[in-house]
Amino acid sequence: MSFRLSAEDIKIGILTVYKLNSVVITPISGKYSIYSSGEKIIDVKINTSIHLTILDNCIIVSTDEKNYGAYNSIDFVSSGFLNYFTINSTKYAKKEFSFDDDLNITVVNNCFKFINIVDLEHYIAGVVEAEGGRKASSEYYKVQAIICRTYAICHLNKHKSEGYEMCDLVHCQVYNGKCRNTDILMAASETSGMVIVDERSKPINATYHSNCGGQTINSIDVWSINRSYLKPIVDKYCTSQPNARWERHCLKKAWLAYLGDKFNYPINDSGACNAALNFKQWTRKTYFLNDKDIPLSKIRNDWLFKSSYFSIYTKGDSVVFKGRGYGHGVGLCQEGAMKMAEEGIKFRDIIKTYYHNVKIVNYEEIK
Ligand SMILES: [Zn+2]
Ligand SMILES: [Zn+2]
């Protein structure tokens, strides 16, 4: 019997960027056997190094003592308690990768293709840990676990053609393998199976960002996508957090030239120039100077500003952009959520603060 936090396994394409063709895999805990096409090749003792190399598109399996032959595909199958293994490669000698549960290996273009068949909650904990950031409270980790799980169950088809459900990169969700943080593991376990759904019981697109600057923003104003649960709120929890404020400077003429070139803004009109140099957002706006042709999100992208929530002041020949927040501002504000959690607010209330009219349900209920 293997020990599982939940009944569900998920297939993740791992180490997708490394292009490895020679590795050592070592079971560290639990019980492992190697199979090929359903036939057992070897029971592997814990801490035994299994060497894998590629020859003629086949995987050569050996230990220090013995060669076990060549296979098209092999599986590390776990059957113990708390099963995990490491993967080492001479190509990246300084890195050691650790993964929970099972592993399927094939060869594609003369490199290994690794698929980690992992308990959903082990995966969620790995994703929350990879999300990183500063150390947070366990209540915040529960929020992040539910968000990552909600995302995961909506994107199980992203890599169907490659034989797995999600990759380990930003394209899906960053996953660096086994989670070492016990607070995060507990948070995944205690929220096991929970996902966020909207009024029609559909899993939500649980978008989040680092800091909203004091007000979140409507999804329609950033992505032209209307979602009943992604509506703005006033957030008093994030305004003294690390990413609450930013500042940038540039020459007045560079700013005006940008507006003229990009948006045909009338920079030869002194009144219009004056307005463009003295723009204030006390509450969050969508458009620059209320001009529908100049979305603030567009300016943010062009200038790589931390947010679209900024005011403009002048100082000599320069303009000063004074901004609030970090990120697109839609959905959950991470630094606000962290502060709420620190103040003792429970994960359900934090989630319902940032996403409107949502429910938290077990995904079994909505399958
Ligand atoms: Zn992907
Ligand atoms: Zn906020």
The strand pairing partners of 203, in sequence order, are 197
133 CA to centre of ligand 2 in angstroms: 16
The residues, any chain, with a CB within 8 Å of residue 224's CB and separated by 6 or more, are none
Which pLDDT does position 39 carry in this prediction?
96
Q: Is 186 helix (H, G, I), strand (E, B) or coil?
A: helix
Q: Which ligand is nearest to the CA of 157?
A: 1
pLDDT greater than 50 at residue 5: no
Which pLDDT does position 4 carry in this prediction?
41
- The whole-angstrom separation of Cα 338 and Cα 39 is 49
240 CA to centre of ligand 2 in angstroms: 10
To which residue do tokens 């606000």 refer? 336
Mean pLDDT (the chain, rounded) = 94
Find the mean pLDDT for residues 334-362: 97
297 CA to centre of ligand 2 in angstroms: 17
pLDDT greater than 60 at residue 311: yes
Which pLDDT does position 133 carry in this prediction?
67
Q: pLDDT tier at 14 (50, 70, 90 boundaries)?
A: very high
Find the mean pLDDT for residues 51-57: 96
Nearest residue to 12 (alpha-carbon basis) of 148, 140, 214: 148
**What does the pLDDT look like over 162-204, one tens digit per residue?**
999 999 999 999 999 999 999 999 999 999 999 999 999 999 9
Which pLDDT does position 366 carry in this prediction?
83
195 CA to centre of ligand 2 in angstroms: 22
Q: In 10 A of CB 23, how many CB atoms?
A: 24
Residues with CB under 5 A from ligand 1 (ion): 167, 171-172
161 CA to centre of ligand 1 in angstroms: 12
Q: In 10 A of CB 199, how many CB atoms?
A: 11
Q: Which ligand is nearest to the CA of 233?
A: 2
198 CA to centre of ligand 2 in angstroms: 21
140 CA to centre of ligand 2 in angstroms: 14
115 CA to centre of ligand 1 in angstroms: 13
Residue 294 near residue 263 (C-beta atoms within 8 A): yes
- pTM recorded for the entire structure: 0.89
**What does the pLDDT look like over 92-141, one tens digit per residue?**
878 889 999 999 999 999 999 999 999 999 999 999 999 876 688 999 99
